[in-house]
C-alpha cells in the first residue's frame, strides 16, 4: 500500500486531536462500576460451551520505572509479591473456569504487563501450567509474551520455548544513549541483539519490537540511527507508538521538561521518517502504528480481511471472546466488557473474597453493537460495506449514520475517505494513517467525554 507522506505531513497537524485508540467500543471511560462480579459471572456463563477463546494474563511487576510509561505496573524487587500473585491468579483462573461451560480451548494466549519475565523461569512454568490445565491450548494457538531485554535471561527463553510460546515482543523504544538515560531505561543494543538471536534459535515464529517516537531528546538524526539498528535486526513486526504525555495518569512524566520533548512538528517528522523507512525496507503497513513483514501472519490477515482489534492490539483471531486474568485485565465477551481491579492489593483481596475481581464493565446496547461493528470495520478493514451493514443490522447504513457521514466531509475533501455511490465508506491509503479520526465520527459517547476539564485520551498522532 502506497502512502503519500508529503501530502500527509501537510494534513496531519489538522487531525492531531485527542481521541481513543479503539481497542474497544464503547471505550473504557464509559464503563461503570454497577457492572460487577455478578454481571461478569453471568456473561462468562453465557459463552458458548466449548468456545474458542483468547486469553490475556497481566503480570504487573517491573524492577524499575521507565519514565514514559503509563501502563498498570508495580515497581518492586520483593520476591514475596510474585509468590502471592501466583497463588491469587490460580484462584481467579479456577473461579473463571467454573463459570465457562463445556471444554473451552485457547486459540490465543498473551502475557503482558508490567514485565512478564520479572517472574522467575520456574514461576513462568507454574503460571503457564495453571492456565493451560484449566483451558488447554489449540495445537496451532498463538502464544505470545512481552519481554524486557534487561531482565530476560537464557533460562527464561528456554522455559518460554518449552512451554510453547511462539511470539515474542521486545520493549525497545529507542537505542540512543541520551534518550535511554532520560527515560530511565538503559538498554544497550547487544542486550536486544542477543535476545533476538536467542528467539530465532528457539524457533519463535514472530519477533516484535515496540518503538516510541516523541521521547525527550529525540531528533530526526538520533531516531534515524535507532532505525538503522532496528532494520539490521529485522524484527517480523514493529509497533511504532507515539509518546503520550499524560501526566494525569503517569505522574513521573512530570520529570520531563517540556523543552526536552521534540516539538509537534519535529515529532511528526520523526514519525513520517520512520514510516518511510519501514515501507522502503519492505514492511507492510497494517494500520495505526503497526507494521509487519509481508510473510507475517498479520500481513496475511490484512490481505484476507481477517484482521481484528482488541486489547492486545491487532490480531488475526476475529471474533473470539477474550478472557483476562490479573489486575486491570480486560475481558471482551459477546456483548459485554469487564475490567478487573487495577490495584494489586484490591485485586488480591477481591479474588480471595469472591473469586472474581470485577471493577467495572459495560453491557453493549443494540446501538453499541452496531457502532462497534462499524468502528472495527474502519479500523481493521478500512471499509464499511453498506450492503453488509444492512444485511447484518437491517437498516441502510447511509440513512442510519447520515449525521456521522456528514461529519466526515472534511476527511473526504482531504482525500482520506471516500463515500461510494451505494453509501459504502472506504478509507483511502493515506486515510489509514488517520483511521482513528474516521472512527471517532461514529462514537456516540465522545462528545460527552470530551466535555470535561480532564483529558481522557492522548492525541491521535
Ligand atoms: S515500560 Fe514496561 S518495563 Fe518500563 S515501567 Fe512500564 S511496564 Fe515496566
**What is the phi/psi pair of residue 167, to 5°?**
-135, 140
- Cα 65 to middle of ligand 1, angstroms: 6
Positive or negative: CA dihedral 345, 45, 370, 314 = positive
Q: What single string gives the DSSP state of each residue in 427-451?
A: E-TGGGGGHHHHHHTT-TTHHHHTT
pLDDT in tens, 172-230: 999 999 999 999 999 999 999 999 999 999 999 999 999 999 999 999 999 999 999 99
What are the pocket residues of ligand 1 if the criterion is a CB atom closer than 6 Å to any ligand atom? 62, 65-66, 69, 71, 73, 113-115, 148, 171
Q: What gap in Å lies between CA 455 and CA 52, rounded to an integer? A: 37
- Return the H-helix or E-strand segment holding 107: strand 105-113
Q: Burial code of 144-159, b = ≥16 C-beta within 10 A, e = fewer?
A: bbbbbbbebeeebbeb
pLDDT in tens, 6-55: 888 889 889 988 889 999 999 999 999 999 999 999 999 999 999 999 99
Question: How many C-beta atoms lie closer than 10 Å to residue 302's C-beta?
Answer: 23
Tell me which residue has its CA closest to atom 2 in ligand 1.
Answer: 114
Which of 61, 72, 115, 209 most suits a substitution to test ligand 1, by most atoms within 8 Å of the C-beta?
A: 115
* Ligand 1 geometric centre to CA of 171 (Å): 8
What is the value of pTM for the model shown?
Answer: 0.94
> Could you count the other beta carbons within 10 Å of the beta carbon of residue 319?
11
With beta carbons less than 8 A apart as the criterion, state whether 130 and 93 touch: yes
Name the residue of 58, 111, 148 to mutate for ligand 1: max ligand atoms within 8 A of Cβ: 148
Nearest CA to ligand 1 atom 7: 114
Mean pLDDT across 352-376: 98
Alpha carbon of 25 to ligand 1 centroid (Å):
26
CA dist list (Å): 372 to 19, 169, 361, 389, 443: 16, 28, 16, 12, 9
Distance 384 CA to ligand 1 centre (A): 36
Helix axis angle, 121-134 to 80-99, nearest 10°: 10
Question: Which atom from ligand 1 is nearest to the alpha carbon of 171?
Answer: 2
pLDDT digits (tens, 9 = 90+) for 302-351: 999 889 888 888 888 755 799 999 999 999 999 999 999 999 999 999 99
pLDDT recorded at residue 197: 97
Query: What pLDDT, in 10s, does the model give residues 125-167?
Result: 999 999 999 999 999 999 999 999 999 999 999 999 999 999 9
The residue whose CB lies within 8 Å of the most ligand 1 atoms, and thus the one to mutate among 60, 69, 113, 180, is: 69
**95-114 confidence digits (pLDDT tens):** 999 999 999 999 999 999 99
What pLDDT, on the 0 to 100 scale, is given for residue 66?
96
What's the rounded Cα separation, in Å, for the pair 137 and 119? 21
The residue among 219 and 248 whose pLDDT is bigger is 219
* pLDDT attached to residue 257: 83
In the structure, what pLDDT confidence band is assigned to residue 454 with cuts at 50, 70 and 90?
low
Q: What per-residue confidence (pLDDT) applies to 424?
A: 97
In the reported structure, the alpha carbon of residue 63 is separated from the centroid of ligand 1 by a whole-number distance in angstroms of 9
Query: Ligand 1 center to residue 85 CA distance, Å?
Result: 18
Percent of residues, the chain, with pLDDT higher than 90: 83
| Nearest residue to 372 (alpha-carbon basis) of 445, 457, 442 | 442
Report how far residue 210's alpha carbon sits from residue 241's, in angstroms, rounded to the nearest whole number.
Answer: 7
Question: For residues 261 and 67, what is the distance between their CA atoms, to the nearest angstrom?
Answer: 13
Whether residue 459 is predicted with pLDDT greater than 70 in this model: the reply is no
**Domains in the chain and their CATH numbers?**
1-26+365-455+457-461 (1.10.10.920), 30-325 (3.80.30.20)
* Nearest protein CA to atom 4 of ligand 1, as residue: 66
Specify which residues 173 forms β-bridges with.
211
Tell me, what's the pLDDT at 133?
A: 98
Distance 418 CA to ligand 1 centre (A): 40
> Would you say residue 120 has pLDDT above 90?
yes
- Calculate ∠ Cα 10-448-395, nearest 5°: 85
In the reported structure, the alpha carbon of residue 203 is separated from the centroid of ligand 1 by a whole-number distance in angstroms of: 26
pLDDT of residue 319: 55
| Range from 209-213, 270-274, 445-449 carrying the lowest mean pLDDT | 445-449
The helix (run of H) or strand (run of E) holding residue 330 is: strand 330-333
Which of 70, 171, 173, 244 should be mutated for ligand 1, with most atoms under 8 A from CB? 171
Amino acid at each position: 500500500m502506497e502512502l503519500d507522506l508529503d501530502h500527509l505531513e501537510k494534513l496531519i497537524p489538522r487531525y492531531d486531536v485527542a481521541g481513543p485508540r479503539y481497542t474497544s467500543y464503547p471505550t473504557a471511560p464509559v464503563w461503570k462500576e454497577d457492572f460487577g462480579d455478578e454481571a461478569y459471572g453471568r456473561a462468562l456463563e453465557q459463552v458458548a460451551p466449548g468456545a474458542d477463546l483468547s486469553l490475556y494474563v497481566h503480570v504487573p511487576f517491573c524492577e524499575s520505572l521507565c519514565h514514559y510509561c503509563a501502563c498498570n505496573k508495580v515497581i518492586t524487587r520483593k520476591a514475596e509479591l510474585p509468590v502471592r500473585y501466583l497463588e491469587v491468579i490460580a484462584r481467579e483462573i479456577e473461579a473463571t473456569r467454573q463459570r465457562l461451560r463445556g471444554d473451552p480451548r485457547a486459540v490465543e494466549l498473551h502475557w503482558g504487563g508490567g514485565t512478564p519475565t520479572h517472574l522467575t523461569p520456574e514461576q513462568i512454568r507454574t503460571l503457564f501450567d495453571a492456565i493451560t490445565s484449566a483451558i488447554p491450548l489449540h495445537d496451532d494457538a498463538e502464544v505470545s509474551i512481552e519481554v524486557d531485554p534487561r531482565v530476560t535471561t537464557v533460562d527464561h527463553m528456554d522455559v518460554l520455548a518449552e512451554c510453547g510460546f511462539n511470539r515474542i515482543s521486545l520493549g525497545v523504544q529507542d537505542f540512543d544513549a541520551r534518550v535511554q538515560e532520560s527515560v530511565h531505561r538503559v538498554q544497550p543494543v547487544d542486550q536486544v541483539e542477543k535476545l533476538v538471536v536467542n528467539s530465532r534459535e528457539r524457533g519463535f515464529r514472530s519477533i516484535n519490537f515496540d518503538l516510541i517516537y516523541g521521547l525527550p531528546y529525540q531528533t530526526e538524526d538520533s531516531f534515524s540511527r535507532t532505525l538503522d539498528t532496528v532494520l539490521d535486526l529485522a524484527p517480523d513486526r514493529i509497533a511504532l507508538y507515539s509518546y503520550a504525555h499524560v501526566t494525569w495518569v503517569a505522574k513521573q512524566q512530570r520529570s520531563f521538561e517540556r523543552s526536552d520533548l521534540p516539538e509537534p512538528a519535529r515529532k511528526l517528522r520523526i514519525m513520517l521518517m520512520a514510516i518511510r523507512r519501514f515501507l522502503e525496507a519492505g514492511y507492510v503497513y497494517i494500520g495505526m502504528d503497526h507494521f509487519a513483514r509481508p510473510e507475517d501472519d498479520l500481513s496475511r490477515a490484512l490481505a484476507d480481511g481477517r484482521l481484528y482489534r482488541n486489547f492486545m492490539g491487532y490480531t488475526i483471531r476475529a471474533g473470539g471472546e477474550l478472557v483476562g486474568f490479573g489486575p486491570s485485565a480486560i475481558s471482551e465477551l459477546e456483548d459485554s466488557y469487564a475490567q478487573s481491579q487495577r490495584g494489586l492489593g484490591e485485586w488480591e483481596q477481591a479474588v480471595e473474597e469472591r473469586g472474581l475481581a470485577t471493577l467495572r464493565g459495560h453491557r453493549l446496547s443494540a446501538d453499541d453493537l452496531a457502532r462497534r461493528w462499524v468502528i472495527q470495520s474502519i479500523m481493521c478493514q478500512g471499509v464499511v460495506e453498506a450492503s453488509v451493514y444492512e444485511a447484518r443490522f437491517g437498516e441502510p447504513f447511509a440513512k442510519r449514520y447520515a449525521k456521522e457521514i456528514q461529519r466526515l466531509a472534511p476527511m473526504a475533501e482531504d482525500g482520506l475517505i471516500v463515500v461510494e455511490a451505494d453509501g459504502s465508506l472506504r478509507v483511502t491509503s493515506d486515510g489509514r494513517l488517520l483511521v482513528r479520526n474516521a472512527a471517532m465520527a461514529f462514537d456516540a459517547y465522545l462528545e460527552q467525554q470530551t466535555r470535561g476539564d480532564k483529558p481522557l485520551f492522548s492525541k491521535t498522532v
